[in-house]
Amino acid sequence: MTDDAALTHQGLDPGAPRGRVLLLACGALAREILDLRAANGWSHLDLACLPAILHNTPDRIPGAVRKAVEVHRADYDDIFVVYADCGTGGQLQALCDELGVGMVEGPHCYSFFEGNETFAARAEDEFTAFYLTDFLVRQFDAFVTKPLGLDRHPELRDAYFGHYEKLVYQAQTDDPVLTEKARTCADRLGLAFERRFTGYGDLATALGAL
Taking the C-alpha atoms of residue 20 and residue 98, their distance in angstroms, rounded to an integer, is: 21
Helix (H) or strand (E) holding 102: strand 102-103
Q: Are residues 38 and 56 in the same domain?
A: yes
Taking the C-alpha atoms of residue 91 and residue 62, their distance in angstroms, rounded to an integer, is: 7
Q: Are residues 133 and 171 in the same domain?
A: yes
Total domains in the chain come to: 2
User: Pick from 61, 89, 104: which residue ends a domain?
Assistant: 104
Taking the C-alpha atoms of residue 105 and residue 196, their distance in angstroms, rounded to an integer, is: 21
Sign for the pseudo-dihedral over CA of 165, 116, 59, 207: positive
Tell me whether residue 25 is in a domain.
Answer: yes
Q: Are residues 169 and 123 in the same domain?
A: yes
Return the C-alpha torsion angle 46, 52, 55, 57, nearest 10: -110
Q: Averaged in consecutive runs of 10 residues, what is the pLDDT profile of the chain (210 residues)?
A: 39 53 97 97 96 94 98 96 97 97 96 96 92 98 95 95 97 98 98 98 96
Tell me whether residue 131 is in a domain.
Answer: yes
Q: Which pLDDT belongs to residue 74? A: 94
Q: Are residues 92 and 149 in the same domain?
A: no
Q: Which pLDDT belongs to residue 95? A: 98
Cβ neighbours, 10 Å, residue 157: 16
Tell me whether residue 2 is in a domain.
Answer: no
Question: Could you list the residue range(s) of the whole structural domain that residue 167 is in?
Answer: 110-197
